Structure formats: structure tokens, C-alpha cells
Amino acid sequence: MSFRGFTRRRLLGAAGAGTALIGAGAAGGYLAASSESEAPGPAEAVVPFRGVRQAGIVTPAQDRLHFVALDVTATGPIVRAAVVALLKRWTTAAERMTAGAEAAPGGAVNRNPAAPPTDTGEALGLPAASLTLTFGIGGTLLDKLGIPRPPGLADLPPFQRDQIDPALSGGDLCIQACADDPQVAVHAVRNLVRMGFGTTAVRWSQLGFGRTSSTSTTQQTHRNLFGFKDGTNNLKAEDAAGLDEHVWVPASEGPAWLAGGTYLVARRIRMHVETWDRTSLTEQESLTGRLKGSGAPIGATDEFTPVDLAAPGPDGTPAIAEDAHIRLASASNLGGVKILRRGYNFVDGSDGAGHLNAGLFFVAFMRDPQRQFVPMQSALARRDRLMEYIEHTGSAVFACPPGLADGAYWGQSLLEG
Amino acid sequence: MSFRGFTRRRLLGAAGAGTALIGAGAAGGYLAASSESEAPGPAEAVVPFRGVRQAGIVTPAQDRLHFVALDVTATGPIVRAAVVALLKRWTTAAERMTAGAEAAPGGAVNRNPAAPPTDTGEALGLPAASLTLTFGIGGTLLDKLGIPRPPGLADLPPFQRDQIDPALSGGDLCIQACADDPQVAVHAVRNLVRMGFGTTAVRWSQLGFGRTSSTSTTQQTHRNLFGFKDGTNNLKAEDAAGLDEHVWVPASEGPAWLAGGTYLVARRIRMHVETWDRTSLTEQESLTGRLKGSGAPIGATDEFTPVDLAAPGPDGTPAIAEDAHIRLASASNLGGVKILRRGYNFVDGSDGAGHLNAGLFFVAFMRDPQRQFVPMQSALARRDRLMEYIEHTGSAVFACPPGLADGAYWGQSLLEG
């Protein structure tokens, strides 16, 4: 059975159809949507919820993000049971919403006069818009449940120049909602948050737009708020060997509940765009290591020309400076380390000092944050001159279990393992 | 000459083409784009910048908003000259960007190594996406310039239950950027902000999505974050007589510089969606006066059935409650008052208390805020039971001069009148 074309728009006209969805999980590989992406028009596209991996990791990056971190507020001996019950309800609702249905049967126009609607309604009539919901577990939740943290969930060390705000960091659980319509992503997060009352509360939440890292060779590279193409050399969905090496946690390495899963590192990076905008083009390109127009490495003309870190410039020194961002972040500078980025631009109003509160919400998936993100960010924080223009203001790490088989629920491998 | 199809994507491939834009203003009526909206695909659509009215008022509401309020930071005898110079530069840049071009010739890949780029670059390769830039003048700017305020720019009175944050209110100038791509709207605001350094600074800024009020009969009604269709009975672009009566300032009424213009009232309305979501459907519909599914008035079945405030319900009392939102806000309850709404949903992260910081950014255009918004909001603040679920946290009023003839700049009628 395919979920394609099954939308809230039709639901509204055909009451009862919603029940046909429940338990109809399955659906093929997690990349099915991308291989057919030309066909049904993006608004109607549905990304399968179940599969070997969670959707929303290598799914071709949708254009809008709503990311939420939650804390478990339930306490005492009932915590585990409360969390399990919530994760079961969340899974059912998430599967429905990614298929374009309402959060629960009955939905926004439930006729039980004594009961609140089981869906909040703001996505009524909207198609699935390629919604994916990706679930992660924070180290603090394991602490609360008395389960040992895998090494990958160790707290990140402080990095030079960090300006981390605890109110924008951490969390017991996270849900990443990506879609091509922000109202669809917001609706999904809001309904899951609503279902968590009494068990969870929102810790922080971030909206994003204009995905900056393509995750598929079928996608063009978008630009960050420094005006540069961002993510040209990102790992891609089509590179199965690269994903196995850098993204998926092998059974030999992680706890059993995380085998085939991955870690998510989120960093809220405020960009001082006003300062950047007063910098010359040459300086911007020198700091970055790429040309602003084409995205090509300095010295080349095509965005996808492999980066040659040794190539000399006109004056004989390397064309790509010793402290250029793409050199410091390159696999060759980091002993082969790569990560799968999936970031979004943001503008969160203004900062009260006459500037836009803008930046990049960095999301990356990797096999081991301690061996990948930590050395990468250490190198950048120490030497990257781009750091003069940015500030890391939020930070979090979550473990994302593998995808769900039919009937399984989010976190089941952890909680029943 | 038409700007249609002239995009940054082509600019990037054909350097120098940008210069052809300058001074090529003109373009027909401000509604041209809407009457052809089926043709060129929304991403490439261009809304003419010049015309009888400013674009972005009755233009069919685009899906994304970036609104910014700025204060003039320049002081002393040079203020007026500094403001005039900035408004001239802004006008040139705004006209270029609404046509899908970069903010200035040279742009993001300007090759002058000593100079910062004249465009920040994050919209390179993106089409115009129906971008409109609408300009407004706050009463505080008139105070600074020693120009008397028209009555419509009098400060709004405090309303019951107001929780207005001065940091999210007021402003000497405003720019409303609407587009179908948030990156295009953000790029435009950011470049105008950048050009204002030394003369203006950001006071507050608001992003929005999922337009809640359609402004044209060609559009479907979208839903707010209470899950209800919002703006069914809004004034529409096609109702010329209604706009003349309720939106455009007649020459007989306003100062000469505002004749044919309008006033913009902005209110940031935080919605306590968590409380709302615990309310029964019947209660939600009773508070609103409409059905959640169809948007029809209670007692009717079609969204566009005219609201009959006298129709009795099953128990003989009016089907639409005495304190229902649509009754209190109706023209018949307010002596014929109507406004043109153009609001957007927002989620600004979380509130630190476990909830999403979500709501409606209310934007409305009208002939006289004192005779339209003030009585309407007074009635709602006093009696609307929806007020239990919302909180007005920001407030501003701006005067929006009429559209620009060829060669004219934003605010010219005020500053050279």
C-alpha cells in the first residue's frame, strides 16, 4: 500500500477514511520518495515513515524545519511507563501526519462536544508536503531512566568562543520536523507537543528555512546567510559506503538499541551578518575558501571541482588559505572525518541592539560525535577566522535509533531492549 | 517593459544585465501579477513595484512574511537629509529586488577587492517569488522631523488585557516584505537594513508563514494556529468600492502626502495554543462563531454563506453567541467598520515555560486606525472570550504613502511635499 496522495484535503471530504491508515505502515525503502520526486508534484509527496533508517536523515532535505527539544517532566517510578506510553502515542500520530493525515482519528472536527479535538486543525486541507519526523534521545533521558549513556552521548566539551545559552541547549528528547510547507512542520510539532502534556514540556524550539545542505545528488546547493553555497561537499544519500563509514552506528560499536542508527548534533550558530556585510568580497572568499558566485573552490571555476588544498595561488602560497574554512573542515585536515549536514537558515527577530538575530541552525548526523564533531569543531574554533563572525549559542546531542519495522514505536529498542 | 522572468538566476549567468533594470520602473497596474497568476509559475512571478498603490497591500497575499521596524539613529540637523538619501537608495534597491535582481549593480560577486559586495548574496539564483516591499512611516519619525502627525498616527490607546512589550512595538519606519520564498523576503529586508547602517537600526523584526487572510477572491482561506479558517469575510482586492471606503485615505481627509495611501496596524498576538488545545470543539466554535472544518458560520454549511447574526440556534437563542468573535468583529456590530487584514502565523521558538511561543502577526490596512481599529479592538478586548487565549504583545501603526510614479522614491510626497 502506498500513502501517496492520501491527504488531509481528502480526509476532510471523506470522513472515516483516516482509519484505513492505522497499522498500514510498511512502505518500501526510505529513499522511495526521492527516486520518484519528479512525479506527483512536491506538495503531495509523502516520505515513508517506516524503513531501515528513520526518515529525515538522508531524505533529500526539505526546505523548512521545525526542531523541538523536550524535557520529561514526569518524575518518580512512573517515568519509564509514562515515556513508553507517550512514545507509542507519538509514533502513531507521527506516522499519520507524515502521510498527510490528522494526528488522530476524529481529528480537528471531532463531534464529541465534551472533548477537545484530537488534532489542532491548522493543517486541515494541506497535503503532506514531504513531512518527515525524526526522533532522538538525549543523554539526560538515559540518566533519568538509569540507562548507561553510550560514549557518543557524552556531553560535548566547551569549545573556544562558545557562547552557549543553556535555555537553547540540551533536552531529553528531540523531534526534527522537515517539510516543504512550514505550516505542516509546525502543525506536526505542535500536535506532538500537545500529546506530551503531563509527561514532557518544550525545552527549546527552532524554525528554519532555506535548507543550506543538500543531502542528495539530485539537489542543488543552497546558500547560507553569508551568501555562500553551503554543503557542496556534504555526504549524500547516494553514497552508501560513505554513510556506512561516517553516519550509521555499526552493531559492533554502539549499544544494541542504536545499531543502524546515528547521532544528531545540533548547534545554533548566530551569524553577525552586519559585520560580515562590511567585509570585502576577497576577504569573504579567502575566509571561506570558495568563490561566492559559483561556489567553486578558489582557483577553480566549477562548484563541484574537487578541492585541491595544495594548489598554489598567484603568489605561490596555497590558493586556499591555511586557515580557510573549507581547509580546516576538510576530511584531509581531520584524518578522514566527514559528517552528514542538514542545516537551515534562521532569523529569530532582532537582538535588541539594532541587528537581526540571524544565523544557521546546524544539524549534522554522524556515527560518533566524539570522534567526528569534536575534533572538527575544535579545529574550527581554534583557527577558523570565520569564528570572528559567528557565535555558537545553542548545543545539543541526541541519539537517533534506526528506522521502525511494522508495529514498532519510537525508542522501543531502547526501552524494551 | 515587463520585469517578468528577469531573475537573479539569469543575472548570475549574464553579468551586466543588471544595469538594464535601472530606471526601467513604470510597469502597469499593481494588480497585474494577480490577473496572470496561473501563467508563469509562482516562483518566477514578479509583482510590479510602481503603480497607483504600493504593492503588498491588496496584492494576493504571498505565503511568507518578514516585517521589520527600524528607528532612525542619525541625529541633529542632518537627519532629514540622511533620511532622504537613504529612502532614495532604498527605493532603487527595493525596485531591483522585487524584480528578482540583486540589491545593487555589482552585487554579491562584485570584483572590487577593497569593497564589500553590494548584495549579500543569499538570494543568488532564486527567482523573484512575487516579492513585494511595502513601506511605512511611524509617528515618531514625524516627531523627529518636526512634521505634524496626521490624526491616524496618534498613539493607540491601551486596550484591556494588553501586554505590550515596547521592544516589539513602534518604530520610525517599517518595511513589510512578502514573498513565496522566505529566503527571498529575508534577503530583501537584510539588504535594506544593511544599507541603513549609520542612519537606521532594527527596532524589531518578525517572520511569518501560512498567510491567514486572503486578500483576493482568487485565493483560498488559510488557517490560523487555532486551526480555524481566518479572513473569510476579509475585504478583497476585487472590491474597489470597499477599498475606497475602508482602506485608501481620500484626499479630503489626510495630509496631502498620504492621499491615496493607507495606514498599517501591526499587532503581535501571542496565542496560548496549549490552553486552546484543551478546549472542546464546541467551545472553540462557539467562541469563534464558525465551524472549524468548513469555516461556515455556525448554522450554515458553506464558508462563504453570509453571516446571519440573528438566526436562532436549536434552543432559540442566537446560533452565533452574543460574545462570539465574528459577531463582535462584524461590520454590523461596529457601525459599518471594516479593515483589510493581511496576517501571518508565527512560531518564535519557545517561551521558557514549556510552551511554543506561537501566534498570529496581525497586519491590517485601513483608512483611519482611530475610527476603525480602535473601536474594533476595544469591542474585542472588552467582550471577546477569545481574549482568554491570546495576548497582544506588540503594537505599531505606520502611514503607508500611495504608490510611486516613475522616478519617485519612498516618502518623497512627505519629505518634499
For B39-74, give the DSSP string: SS-GGG----S-SSS-TTSSSPPPSEEEEEEEEE--
Q: How distant is the Cα of A12 from the closest Cα of chain B, in angstroms?
A: 8
**Separation CA A414–CA A298 (nearest Å):** 47
Contact at CB, A205 and B356, closer than 8 angstroms: yes
Task: Give per-residue burial for B234-265: e unless 16+ CB within 10 Å, then b.
Answer: bbbbebeeebeebbbbeeeebbebbbbbbbbb
For residues B270, A267, A243, A96, the Cα torsion angle rounded to the nearest 10 degrees is -10
Length of chain B: 417
Per-residue model confidence (pLDDT) at position A201: 97
Point out the least confidently predicted range of A282-286, A298-302, B26-30, B331-335: B26-30
Contact at CB, A115 and B280, closer than 8 angstroms: yes
Q: Helix, strand, coil proportions of chain A in percent (round to 5)?
A: 30, 20, 50
Q: How distant is the Cα of A15 from the closest Cα of chain B, in angstroms?
A: 11
**Separation CA A168–CA A395 (nearest Å):** 7
Count of CB pairs separated by less than 8 Å, A with B: 223
Tell me how far apart the terminal alpha carbons of chain A are, to the nearest angstrom: 30
Cα radius of gyration rounded to whole Å, chain A: 22
Q: How distant is the Cα of B140 from the closest Cα of chain A, in angstroms?
A: 17
Q: How distant is the Cα of A241 from the closest Cα of chain B, in angstroms?
A: 32
Nearest by CB: B194 against A66, A189, A274: A274
Chain A CB contacts of B182 below 8 Å: 64, 182, 209-210
Contact at CB, A73 and B280, closer than 8 angstroms: no
**Other CB atoms within 10 A of residue A230 CB:** 26
Per-residue model confidence (pLDDT) at position A212: 86
Per-residue model confidence (pLDDT) at position B161: 94
**Separation CA B149–CA B413 (nearest Å):** 14
The one-digit pLDDT tens for each residue of chain B (417 residues) are: 333 334 465 444 333 333 222 222 223 233 333 333 333 346 889 999 999 999 999 999 999 999 999 999 999 889 999 999 999 999 999 999 999 999 999 899 987 878 899 999 999 999 999 999 999 999 999 999 999 999 999 999 999 999 999 999 999 999 999 999 999 999 999 999 999 999 999 999 999 998 888 899 999 999 999 999 999 999 999 999 999 999 999 999 989 999 999 999 999 999 999 999 999 999 999 999 999 999 999 999 999 999 999 999 999 999 999 999 999 999 999 999 999 999 999 999 999 999 999 999 999 999 999 999 999 999 999 999 999 999 999 999 999 999 999 999 999 999 997
State chain B's maximal CA–CA distance in angstroms. Answer: 78
Q: Which residue of B has its CA nearest to A225?
A: B122
Contact at CB, A186 and B347, closer than 8 angstroms: yes
Q: Residue B187 burial by CB count (10 A; 0-12/13-18/19+): exposed, middle or buried?
A: buried
Contact at CB, A121 and B190, closer than 8 angstroms: no
Q: Looking at the predicted structure, is the pLDDT value of residue A390 above 60? A: yes
Per-residue model confidence (pLDDT) at position A293: 93
**Separation CA A243–CA B48 (nearest Å):** 47
- Cell 534562521 locates to A346
Task: Give per-residue burial for B131-145: e unless 16+ CB within 10 Å, then b.
Answer: bbbbbbbbbbbbebe
Contact at CB, A348 and B352, closer than 8 angstroms: no
Contact at CB, B112 and A284, closer than 8 angstroms: no
Contact at CB, A202 and B354, closer than 8 angstroms: yes
Q: Which residue of A has its CA nearest to B190?
A: A356
Per-residue model confidence (pLDDT) at position A295: 96
Per-residue model confidence (pLDDT) at position A254: 81
**Cβ pair A285, A298 in contact under 8 A:** yes
Q: Return the amino acid letter for A414.
A: L
Nearest-5° angle of CA A99, CA A83, CA A266? 70
- Cell 542632518 locates to B78
Q: How distant is the Cα of A154 from the closest Cα of chain B, in angstroms?
A: 25
Residues 6 or more apart whose Cβ sits within 8 Å of residue B241: none
Q: Looking at the predicted structure, is the pLDDT value of residue A3 above 60? A: no
**Cβ pair A152, A397 in contact under 8 A:** yes
- Cell 525545552 locates to A203
For A217-258, give the DSSP string: TTS---B-TTSSB--TT---TT-HHHHHHHTSPPTTTS-GGG
Q: Looking at the predicted structure, is the pLDDT value of residue A272 above 90? A: yes
Closest CA to A190 of A106, A66, A95: A66
Contact at CB, B277 and A207, closer than 8 angstroms: no
Closest CA to A265 of A154, A358, A186, A359: A154
Nearest by CB: A206 against B64, B349, B352: B349
Per-residue model confidence (pLDDT) at position B23: 27
Q: Looking at the predicted structure, is the pLDDT value of residue A26 above 60? A: no
**Cβ pair A214, A222 in contact under 8 A:** yes
Nearest by CB: B354 against A201, A224, A356: A201
Q: Looking at the predicted structure, is the pLDDT value of residue A187 above 90? A: yes
**Separation CA A115–CA A245 (nearest Å):** 50
**Separation CA A296–CA B389 (nearest Å):** 52
Point out the least confidently predicted range of A3-7, A206-210, A275-279, A387-391: A3-7
Tell me how far apart the terminal alpha carbons of chain B are, to the nearest angstrom: 29
Best mutation target, B63, B72, B292, B315, to test chain A (most A CBs within 10 A): B292
Contact at CB, A349 and B347, closer than 8 angstroms: no
**Separation CA A122–CA B229 (nearest Å):** 8
Per-residue model confidence (pLDDT) at position B254: 81
**Separation CA B396–CA B70 (nearest Å):** 12
